[in-house]
Amino acid sequence: MSELLARAYRGLVIAEVEPGSLAEELGLRPGDAIWSVNGKRVMDTLDYRFRITEPQVEITVLRGEESLTFCIEKEPYDSLGIQFENDLADKIHTCTNKCVFCFIHQMPKRMRRSLYLMDDDFRLSFLYGNYVTLTNVTEEEFARILEQKLSPMYVSVHATDPDLRGRLLGKREPVPILPILRRLHDGGIDVHAQIVLCPGWNDGDALRQTLYDLAALHPAITGRRAGTLSVAIVPVGLTKFRQKLTPLTPPDRQYALQFIREVRSLERTFLARLGTRFAFLSDEWFFLAEKPIPARRYYEDFPQLEDGVGTVRLFLNRAYDVVRRLPPALPRPVQMTLVTGELPSAIIQRFAQMLERVQGVRLNVCVVKNHFFGGTVSVAGLLTAQDIASALAQFPTYPTVVLPSICLRDGYLFLDDVTVEQFEAQIGRRVIVVEPHPSALWRVIREAAG
């Protein structure tokens, strides 16, 4: 059995069958598992959609201990009308690297097991924009990427020098990436690359080499249809749990100021040669340097949004759109405390002040320091219930507390395994969870006012 198929396999479990669909006519039910299509196992929803496009399809379904086979004639590309419980039919493909900057290696002990899962799954890269090193991809999986045109892929490059990349990934041997990228591009696969910047490791001449090597793979240079389209540069994040790990130095304000100047100079070169800035700085750099977030045009078409490149600019632009449509007053007074982390606090406070122009709206912002992880961790998405509760206990908290959904898993569970319901009882306040979008917060305020 191939290495790919040897991984734990459970089939694609059906969550919902659409009324009036082909699946309903066949008698498929929630709980059934799609096992194979045309005699080939489907490893995920990508595989399923690729194989189900044929006009004549044979699917094998597992229902309890019973195996059922259905032969279907349909129009090409017609859907069967199935929603699945999970995108993967086997387990997530995990990472065997030991990156010197890996956040999971900096986690405290005795947290829930799912938090220690290191994925390096090419399917999650295509589906959700997760970054993968491509060091854990089998030859069979690589061939599948090319066959099914899984483009774009999001690739953690970090450095193009094989020796340096190997050291960054915790390997004892060189780990080249350029031949792999060229093979992807030859197969029509676009790539968005990522560099986790570790001062003293992959900055300076090493960074310039990496960016120039990757820029040489851009379609504007190669003349090919596919290529490396952009690079996101994010600063390394360090927690206080780095005992016995490789010593790393986080960038400070002075470093960030100089780094921004260097990269912006390279961006101008790329803009002239490629027609794009190509190398994009994540929002953290501007917070570290205490510089304004760039204007909308800097981010072009936001190619690296999943890596935190431009999320603050989008938030600000959407906030201005909300503010332009605000009424002069609300029918009833509303008082709420907004929770956020240190990094985005100035942005959230600024938006809260804009909303307070509406008569009857009273908002204050509780900025929570991340004592749990410590180090340089200051984003809202890594706040724990215990840190938030502690901060609120020392803050003039209003009766309603608003939490950003990025603090929670599945909308209800904090990183330290406290549920929203438990947290609400602990702080003695009503808790509302909102998506981190300006319109979502304004909607909550408006609804509270009746």
Q: What is the CATH number of the domain that holds 364?
A: 3.40.50
The pLDDT score that the predictor gives to residue 438 is 96
Residue 202 lies in a domain: yes
Quote the pLDDT of residue 308.
Answer: 87
- What is the tally of structural domains in the chain? 3
Q: Tell whether 230 and 301 lie within a shared domain.
A: yes
DSSP 8-state secondary structure symbol assigned to residue 192: E
Question: What confidence tens digit (pLDDT) does each residue in 332-385 have?
Answer: 999 999 999 999 999 999 999 999 999 999 999 999 999 999 999 999 999 999
Do 116 and 10 lie in one domain? The reply is no
* Together in a domain, 337 and 267: no
Of the two residues 261 and 42, the one the predictor is more confident about is 261
Summarised one tens digit per residue, pLDDT across range 282-292 is 999 999 999 99
pLDDT averaged over the chain? Answer: 92
- Residue-level pLDDT at 396: 97
Q: With bands split at pLDDT 50, 70 and 90, how would you rate the model's confidence at 418? A: very high
**Among 3-7, 30-34, 97-101, 109-113, which stretch is predicted with the lowest mean pLDDT?**
3-7
Give me the domain span that covers residue 111. Answer: 104-309
Percent of the chain with pLDDT over 70: 96
Strand-strand pairing, 56-63 and 66-73: antiparallel
- pLDDT category at 126 given cuts 50, 70, 90 is confident
Helix (H, G, I), strand (E, B) or coil at 228: strand
Whether residues 170 and 280 fall in one domain: yes
**5 pLDDT more than 70:** no
What is the pLDDT confidence band of residue 119, given thresholds at 50, 70 and 90? confident
The answer on 116 and 59 residing in a single domain is: no
pLDDT band for 86, please (50, 70, 90 cuts).
Answer: confident
Residues 241 and 282 in one domain: yes
Length of the chain: 450
Residue 170: name the closest of 196, 208, 141, 143 by CA.
196
Domain harbouring 47, CATH code: 2.30.42.10
pLDDT band at 8 (very low <50, low <70, confident <90, very high): low
CATH number at residue 305: 3.80.30.10
201 and 283 together in one domain:
yes
Q: Is residue 14 part of a domain?
A: yes
- Write down which residue in 309, 338, 361 finishes a domain: 309
94 within a domain of the structure (yes/no): no
pLDDT at 110: 67
| β-sheet bridge partners, residue 441 | none
3 has pLDDT over 60:
no
In a domain, 401, yes or no: yes
12 shares its domain with 142: no
pLDDT band at 149 (very low <50, low <70, confident <90, very high): very high
Q: Which of 77-86, 90-99, 170-179, 389-398 is least confident?
A: 90-99
Which of 278, 309, 340 is the C-terminal boundary of a domain? Answer: 309
Asked if residue 339 and residue 204 are part of one domain, the reply reads: no
- 215 in the same domain as 290: yes
The candidate with the shortest Cα–Cα distance to 189, out of 232, 234, 143, is: 143
Q: Are residues 254 and 155 in the same domain?
A: yes
pTM over 0.85: yes
Residues 148 and 67 placed together within one structural domain of the fold: no
Q: How confident is the model at residue 426 (pLDDT cuts 50, 70, 90)?
A: very high
Task: Quote the DSSP letter at residue 413.
Answer: B
Within a domain: 93? no
Structure tokens at 387: 């840190």
pLDDT above 50: residue 259: yes
The most distant pair of C-alpha atoms in the chain lies apart, rounded to whole Å, by 68
Whether the predicted pLDDT of 69 surpasses 60: yes
Sheet of 279-281: strand order equals: 153-156, 191-197, 228-235, 279-281
Which amino acid, one-letter code, is at 264?
Answer: R
Does residue 92 lie within any of the structural domains?
no
Given 272, 294, 309, the domain boundary residue is 309
